Amino acid sequence: MQSRRNFIHQVAATAISLQLLPFTSWGKVPIQDGPVLRVAIMGLGGYATRVADAMQQCKRAKLVGAISGTPSKLTAWQAKYGIAEKNCYNYESFKNIKNNPDIDVVYITTPNALHHSQVIAAAAAGKHVICEKPMALNAKEGAEMVAACKKAGVQLLVGYRMHFEPKTLEVVRMRQDGELGKIKFFEGLSGFVIGDPTQWRLNKALAGGGALMDIGIYSINGARYMVGEEPIWVTAQETKNDPVKFKAGVDETIQFQLGFPSGAVASILSTYSVNYLDRFYLVGEKGYANLQPATGYGPIKGYTNKGELTQPHQTHQTVQMDEMAAIILDGKKPIIPVDGEEGLRDLKIIDAIYEAVKTGKKISLT
């Protein structure tokens, strides 16, 4: 983390000393004619930088603002991305964004526990909101966020980048068109060995849990759009081998099962203790689809009973932001929803998984 900060500061210093114009070394894609979604990113960490870099290739979305509690980050972002000082805020001055007509949407990439208050504040300021997943710590918070955005008349979208990924969408198309037949089974494997034990993702107050809230949500969401149904029950079991690193309320590994109305079932593993777990496997009566890696930054790889999936790789965040611009500006309907209600559905399942772990019971989702 420190090396990334140093790098950003070095880039900023170089740009200032050489009096570079914004984006001269970026090869930025020209914004196309027509309305453009003007975006401010809140929380300038590693993933925010990935989004900001990807947005330099967007045709419908433009990075115009930044919000951070660290003044040096705001200075660096102004230099690196050509952001006007008037479009930069700290967390105290953020409320003044309501008076800034140059910002359409706030993209929130802060720790999970901050999403609830920040989404509600952005909505109250009259700005559309994109919130990273999980949308909130629990379904209660999520419902309040959805309600606040509806009341304010703004859109709430969630950063489900896989909903726009071409190979993923091809598997969904095959399932929708009946090419796989009746779906019988889904397997999702989501895991990696987490590093720094002091990071916020291992802090229950900030993360709301452990692996399930970070990497496991990909398989929860994936089970829903791959099977094409909403689960009606869940069972779950937790394994914790390192109670020092994974303190109370921070899950290391959870295996869980979902049942669907059609009789299809899903078996999912979410863990912070095993690398190389990034796989979706969908089986129907007529065929199957395998994605591995299934949710990484790419390229996604996959094959079905009909052969290899060959759709070209595109940077996920670039595609996501252009597609979200079309949703907000044009009213486009995505193939797989990315709205607040979609985020809320995942949160209800997460709540039920934790309840199943705690009680050892099958938890109804209906």
Question: Which residue among 133, 167, 272, 348 is the active-site one?
Answer: 133
Q: Identify whether the C-beta of residue 241 lies closer than 8 Å to the C-beta of residue 198.
A: no
Q: Which fold has domain 162-312+340-364?
A: Dihydrodipicolinate Reductase; domain 2 (3.30.360)
Instruction: Kindly report the pTM of this predicted structure.
Output: 0.91
Whether 133 sits among the annotated catalytic residues: the reply is yes
Q: Could you say which DSSP state residue 229 is in?
A: S
Q: What is the pLDDT of residues 129-152, one digit of tens each?
A: 999 999 999 999 999 999 999 999
Q: How confident is the model at residue 34 (pLDDT cuts 50, 70, 90)?
A: confident
Domain ranges of the chain: 2-161, 162-312+340-364
Could you say which architecture CATH assigns to the domain 2-161?
3-Layer(aba) Sandwich (3.40)
Share of the chain above pLDDT 90, in %: 90
Q: How confident is the model at residue 303 (pLDDT cuts 50, 70, 90)?
A: very high
Whether 240 sits among the annotated catalytic residues: the reply is no
Structure tokens, 356: 């199943």
User: What is the mean predicted confidence (pLDDT) over 23-37?
Assistant: 61
Question: Which residue among 89, 218, 272, 281 is the active-site one?
Answer: 218
Sign of CA dihedral 185, 340, 61, 2: negative
What is the b/e burial string over 330-363, where b = at least 16 CB atoms within 10 angstroms of the residue's CB?
eeeebebbbbbebbbbbbbbbbbbbebbeeeeeb
